[in-house]
Structure 1
Amino acid sequence: MPVVKHQIGRNKKKPVACHRCHTHKVKCSGEQPCARCRQSGCGDECQYTLRDRKLKVNESYIDELLSENLQLKEQLRASNTPHPSPASAIETPHPPQESYPSLQNPLLGERAWFYPYDPSAPPIYMGEAACTAFATRLRQLLTGDSNTAHVARTQYTPESSLLEGEAQWPGFAQARLLVKVAFNQLSQVYHLFLRRSTLEQLETVYRTPSLRNDPSLTCKFFALFALGEVYSSRLSSVRESRVPGTKYYVRAMSVIPILPERPGMIHVETLLLLSLYSYFLNRRHSAYMLVGNAMRLGLILGLNHNIPARQCTNPVEREHRVRLWWAIYIFDRMYTSKIGFPLQIRDEDIYVDLPTDVTCPGAEDQFSDTAYLVSSIRLARIIGQIIDKLYSRKPHQESFLQREQQLLLALQDWVQNLPAHIKLPKDNTPLKHIASLHLQFNQCVILATRPIILHALFQRRGHRQNDEDLPQPVITLSEACIHAARHSHVLIIEEWVNESLPIYGYFYAQYLFSSAIILVISGLLPTVGSPADLDSLDTAMEILYRMMDHGNLAAAEFYENLKRVKQCLPRAPGSSSIENDHRSYTPEQPRGSVASVSNMDQLVDSSGLATVPVAGLTTEMAFLEPTMQDFLGRTDNEMDLVYPEGFSIDESSIIDAWPTAFWTL
């Protein structure tokens, strides 16, 4: 036995470099993962060449290991082997032991899901990761009708509205204000430009009018003007009017039909800005295409690689390249999670370092908080893993619950290693960019676990099971999903009450919609969730209605989906209808602030969750539960023994657990 201890001690230090350091011909620190892989966000890929050394051990120790291994195999075989009836005792071919069937997300059918929006046009692909697609699956389950149709997305700015005139260059004072508003809203969350350099560039353009004929400068600044106007708009608007900033957006888009053969950084910046504004128009497909073009221009520029200092001597410009690439990466992962499309680049094809602080003079005016940006990148990487591991149809060696465990372990590690200044404050209202990051984290948890909670609802309603009959892993993951939804709901209510919720914003509306859908399911699973969670549906619909009434197109889409979900719920006698409240609300009432909402007190008090202070719920709370720690601590063999009904080893049984017509739309 002492020999074994000596062996373990010797293996702690790696005598050779890991594969990645060896490939890059750099010194490796030798840990697992090594320092360079950790810094580059590639800790999971840090691997060393396996060295098979000959060691002297006692024969009795080998015999003991072989005996234990044989006993474990027999126990596993006995637990997984069904007892056949005489009719089924006929010899059946067994798959070879090396074949390990993968398990799919129970939301994924055998075929891709298409929806015919327009009889004269091809059907549109529906990604199952989209929140509206999940809402449709819920309605199909609640109604028991597989023909329950998806709600067509008609609330977006059509192409015809983007041909009605363009804006001219605004006056310098107005232009400077619009750019500063855009800076204030964006620079703390994303790195899309160099702040001081962009302001200096704006002043140069206005001092030299001939520069306004430069299409790249025109495109960039009109994209910034569009974002500045939509973020600063405080005027009342009717639903039929344009989203503020649309004319600036139209002018910018008119300049980029022909992409540059030799792009510059300004082209990448502009495409990212325009893709972000596209979400205000609820043009999600346009945003996806724009960020795809930005990524390809970034690949042409080699932004996914570290550039040598001799070829880019300015440290600010070098760091700008690094951060701009990671902005592309964050947008790609974030957009993919909203619409369910495949990732546009693999992590294995990225070799650039993570952002770092630049210490040269003047750099502090160009960049925002490095730690926040690194945390955003690591969270975006987990988003990509969720899409890849749970929402793709490619085969996986690990089972579905094993992949769930891997993702939740990554999310737990993310929240545990979050710097103190980025965590939610215990007593005070969080800054908007801090709240935004935690809302995105909660959305990751929801995206990873909501197939399980919908499965739990199906088991309870389809098989008339009680919540207590659900397997513990299903209960544990469902509770984590509910906790994330409650936390997001409370954070957004806090933003609304404090008048800091972006009235035209897409992402807050989507987070509110996503959490409301989960809380509806929670209300229908009394033991796992709480019937009181159903009250949050009215609160979410009320806020979305107010945002819709101001002209928020995404809120209009989400509101319509929630209204359809509410119509599928059993109505309690004497319950109030939110549509009645809306009929009494007239457009002539003053709008634009929380104080102007006549029934805001009733709105906040109508949901028990709305009155819970933010400090009552924490981001990491779901991971502190003993049942969650038990789930995260299970080995692969233990995970194989806890499959609930409908998550058996046979992949076909997952799809069969749902009505066949459920997937044939």
Structure 2
Amino acid sequence: MEERPPVPTESEAFQLLDAIMLYFYEPQHLFDAREVSDRISMFFESPQSQLQNPTIWTLHIILIFAVGRLLRGETDGGSLLPGFKLFTFVDQNLPSPTQLRKQGLAGIEVLALMVVYLQNIDQKDDASIYAGLAIRLAIMHGLHRGHTTQRLRRSESTHANRLWWTIHMLEKRIAIATGFPLVALDDTIMDTSLPTDSPGFPNPSSIRMNIRIAQIQGKIYSVIYSSEPHPEDLFLANVQEIVSSLTQLAHHISHIPLAGASALGHQMSRREQRTSISLYTVLYTTIMLTLRPVMLHLTKSILNAETTFAQTTKDFQQLSCTCIEAARRSIELLMVAKKEDMIAKFGFFDLDTMFSAGFIMLLAAIIEAASPEHSASMVPFKSSPSILEAITLLDYLGTFNNEAAIQRRDQIQKLYDRIPSLVRQPHPSEVSITSEGNHRHNALAEGIHAPVYPDESHQGIGRVPQSPNITDNTGIEGWTVNSLPLQLPDDPQRMYTLYHNDDFTLTGGDVADFEELERHLFGNGG
């Protein structure tokens, strides 16, 4: 006899729904919260009978419990992964694809929640299976066509439209994470509109922003990380388009206050703060995704003693500093989220940002350690937060038995500890070692086993950022988000060689590209 999963009480169930709403309510649309709220109440009218003969809506509600527990880091019945018994129950009772198609939007919503759960436990390959099925069912229902939703009642049309775009985003991002081909329709073929204002639904600005970022990420993946060769003129035009899109997006997102901000005397709610953090970090992650090949190429050139950071061209320096600044701001925002208890304990979005930022800050640490000069050009490499704080954030997730966070933390730690052996020590005539330089070298050689936050009032590397008190829509420490310079070299050939070289075989996936870095530095032995 099939074991029934441990379900929460009704009051706990609504808390789990609130947990999902905190992270997904505005930037995505996994379900209609009003309908799900009613369905939860209906479920608790006869929970045991519904578990005995589960309908599609029973499975839907059980997944709400599973994802909610996962985000909160709450185990169920001793299971190592929060919500895993609940998820397994759904997986074992999931209808066939044919039956799911007959369930309409509810079937697509169930698949979307399964995708989110699997992503959150770092099972991206499995998540891609359900994402592919979800996008195909959505296409079969015509959600990618405007005339389909126009025939529905207004609230139904809004729900269907936002669900389509959410599935579309999920599929794009899973493709990037796994390196699998995109299976969704090309963006130019879809004629459904972007989400618009509708009574009873959140303001569409956040989901529209998230959609636009996902579209740019898809473009980055298909252009910069494509395994297919592109003609130079077409490649350059596409990269310029990506940069232009990011610049425009940075301008638009700068109108969204950062966490801790007040707008016209209105104190941001927790949900508004979390939405703000999510949108800013996903933008910064997209900038890092665009510029990571440049950082890797520079790191390799410096380690091979082909150049130093000071000897590189100004545009090369600027791109590198932009990438580092995007990583630093991501870390600082997540530190604010941690302080306010708004980090998802098992959330692929926060984990991916931590690792992506940690990856870049590791490259920055390598470049700094290999650079004998103490010029103004090296200032961005010495600011905080740094790689230390990125590892601390991963450690925090590890305290909830988040194995993916532990593994990524160990990857970064291992390579960071080996930096002294990678760096060619300069001849004494090449550099004048200051007391500060000696201190930094000793700290590097000793690894990062000392406490990261010895003094919260200290303004150096161990500083704990406070929630920024922002009243003018500026970013952290007075920077506006669109002040990040993202100017590509004027020389087309120079720009082409930045991305097309034989240094690395990159996919765009954080873990795969990190392993590619390890292979280059240490060979197959790691």
Amino acid at match of 1:472: K
- Distance in 2 between the 1:515 and 1:496 partners? 16
The residue number in structure 2 matching 1:618 is 480
Q: What's the CA shift for 1:331?
A: 0.9
The residue number in structure 2 matching 1:394 is 228
- Distance in 2 between the 1:564 and 1:475 partners? 27
Q: How does 1:199-214 map to 2 (within 5 A)?
A: 199-207=37-45, 213-214=53-54
The secondary structure found in structure 2 opposite 1:307 is: helix
Question: Among 417, 420, 424, which residue is 2:252 paired with?
Answer: 417
The residue number in structure 2 matching 1:252 is 90
Compared with structure 1, are the counterparts of its residues 575 and 352 closer, same or farther at alpha carbon in structure 2 (3 Å cutoff)? closer
Q: Does 1:607 align with 2:439?
A: no
The residue number in structure 2 matching 1:591 is none
Q: How does 1:168-567 map to 2 (within 5 A)?
A: 168-207=6-45, 213-233=53-73, 242-256=80-94, 258-261=96-99, 262-263=101-102, 264-308=104-148, 311-312=151-152, 314-345=153-184, 346-358=186-198, 363-364=199-200, 367-399=201-233, 402-418=237-253, 420-421=255-256, 431-526=273-368, 527=377, 530-532=380-382, 536-567=386-417
Offset from partner CA, 1:39-66 (integer Å, 9 cap, x none) = xxxxxxxxxxxxxxxxxxxxxxxxxxxx
Residue segments in structure 1 that go unaligned for 5+ positions in a row: 1-162, 583-597
1:523–1:533 contact (8 Å) kept in structure 2: no
Amino acid at match of 2:337: E
Q: What's the CA shift for 1:257?
A: 5.7
Q: How does 1:106-121 map to 2 (within 5 A)?
A: none
More helix by share: 2
The secondary structure found in structure 1 opposite 2:44 is: helix
Q: What's the CA shift for 1:172?
A: 3.4
- Distance in 1 between the 2:412 and 2:57 partners? 42
- Distance in 1 between the 2:87 and 2:150 partners? 38
- Distance in 1 between the 2:210 and 2:279 partners? 7
- Distance in 2 between the 1:309 and 1:520 partners? 47
Compared with structure 1, are the counterparts of its residues 272 and 290 closer, same or farther at alpha carbon in structure 2 (3 Å cutoff)? same
Compared with structure 1, are the counterparts of its residues 600 and 329 closer, same or farther at alpha carbon in structure 2 (3 Å cutoff)? farther
The secondary structure found in structure 1 opposite 2:188 is: helix
- Distance in 2 between the 1:653 and 1:540 partners? 29
Aligned length: 464
Amino acid at match of 1:565: L
1:294–1:328 contact (8 Å) kept in structure 2: yes
Compared with structure 1, are the counterparts of its residues 410 and 424 closer, same or farther at alpha carbon in structure 2 (3 Å cutoff)? farther
Q: What's the CA shift for 1:344?
A: 2.0
2:455–2:462 contact (8 Å) kept in structure 1: no
2:39–2:61 contact (8 Å) kept in structure 1: no
Q: TM-score, normalised on structure 1?
A: 0.62
Compared with structure 1, are the counterparts of its residues 468 and 223 closer, same or farther at alpha carbon in structure 2 (3 Å cutoff)? same
- Distance in 2 between the 1:563 and 1:537 partners? 9
- Distance in 2 between the 1:535 and 1:357 partners? 38
The secondary structure found in structure 2 opposite 1:464 is: coil
Amino acid at match of 1:618: T
- Distance in 1 between the 2:55 and 2:114 partners? 14
Q: What's the CA shift for 1:611?
A: 4.1
User: Mean alpha-carbon deviation: is it higher for 322-331 or for 182-191?
Assistant: 182-191
1:278–1:284 contact (8 Å) kept in structure 2: yes
Q: What's the CA shift for 1:566?
A: 1.3
- Over the matched positions of the two proteins, sequence identity in percent amounts to 21
Compared with structure 1, are the counterparts of its residues 322 and 434 closer, same or farther at alpha carbon in structure 2 (3 Å cutoff)? same
Offset from partner CA, 1:443-463 (integer Å, 9 cap, x none) = 000000010111112222224
Q: What's the CA shift for 1:603?
A: 11
Q: What's the CA shift for 1:316?
A: 0.8
Q: Does 1:167 align with 2:17?
A: no
Q: What's the CA shift for 1:372?
A: 1.1
- Distance in 2 between the 1:604 and 1:194 partners? 46
Compared with structure 1, are the counterparts of its residues 520 and 647 closer, same or farther at alpha carbon in structure 2 (3 Å cutoff)? closer
Q: What's the CA shift for 1:609?
A: 6.5
- Distance in 1 between the 2:14 and 2:495 partners? 59
1:280–1:553 contact (8 Å) kept in structure 2: no
Q: What's the CA shift for 1:393?
A: 1.5
- Distance in 1 between the 2:446 and 2:348 partners? 26
Q: CA RMSD in A?
A: 3.6
Offset from partner CA, 1:609-646 (integer Å, 9 cap, x none) = 654853444321213xxxx45x48x5xxx524x458x5
1:486–1:609 contact (8 Å) kept in structure 2: no
- Distance in 2 between the 1:286 and 1:543 partners? 26
Compared with structure 1, are the counterparts of its residues 565 and 576 closer, same or farther at alpha carbon in structure 2 (3 Å cutoff)? closer
Q: How does 1:641-660 map to 2 (within 5 A)?
A: 642-643=494-495, 647=498
Q: What's the CA shift for 1:464?
A: 3.3
Q: What's the CA shift for 1:440?
A: 0.3
Amino acid at match of 1:622: L
Compared with structure 1, are the counterparts of its residues 395 and 463 closer, same or farther at alpha carbon in structure 2 (3 Å cutoff)? same
Larger radius of gyration: 1
The residue number in structure 1 matching 2:424 is none
Q: What's the CA shift for 1:417?
A: 2.7
Amino acid at match of 1:499: D
Q: What's the CA shift for 1:268?
A: 0.5
Amino acid at match of 2:391: M
Compared with structure 1, are the counterparts of its residues 208 and 421 closer, same or farther at alpha carbon in structure 2 (3 Å cutoff)? same
- Distance in 1 between the 2:19 and 2:520 partners? 47
Q: What's the CA shift for 1:243?
A: 2.0
Offset from partner CA, 1:368-402 (integer Å, 9 cap, x none) = 22111111111110010010111112232345555
- Distance in 2 between the 1:198 and 1:302 partners? 23
1:493–1:610 contact (8 Å) kept in structure 2: yes
Amino acid at match of 1:391: Y
Q: What's the CA shift for 1:434?
A: 0.8
1:532–1:608 contact (8 Å) kept in structure 2: no
Question: Among 482, 485, 492, which residue is 1:639 paired with?
Answer: 492
Residue segments in structure 2 that go unaligned for 5+ positions in a row: 369-376, 422-440, 469-475, 506-515
Q: What's the CA shift for 1:570?
A: 0.9
Compared with structure 1, are the counterparts of its residues 175 and 654 closer, same or farther at alpha carbon in structure 2 (3 Å cutoff)? closer
The secondary structure found in structure 2 opposite 1:278 is: helix
- Distance in 2 between the 1:195 and 1:557 partners? 35
- Distance in 2 between the 1:375 and 1:199 partners? 26
